[in-house]
Amino acid sequence: MNVRCVSRVRCIGAIITGLAAVFVSLGASTGCATGRSPAATRIQEADSNMVTGCTYLGEVSGTSGWGGLAASTGIENAKNQALDQAAKKGATHVVWNNLAGGWSPSVSGKAYRCPEPR
Residues 17 and 43 in one domain: no
**Mean pLDDT, rounded, for 65-90:** 87
Residues 22 and 52 in one domain: no
Phi, psi angle pair for 49, to nearest 5°? -65, -30
Burial class (CB in 10 A: 0-12, 13-18, 19+), 83: buried
Residue 92 predicted with pLDDT over 90 = yes
The domain total for the chain is: 2
Residues 22 and 43 in one domain: no
Residues 4 and 45 in one domain: no
Residues 72 and 96 in one domain: yes
Q: In this predicted structure, what is the pLDDT of residue 87?
A: 96
Q: What DSSP state is assigned to residue 118? A: -
The reply to whether the predicted model has a pTM over 0.85 is: no
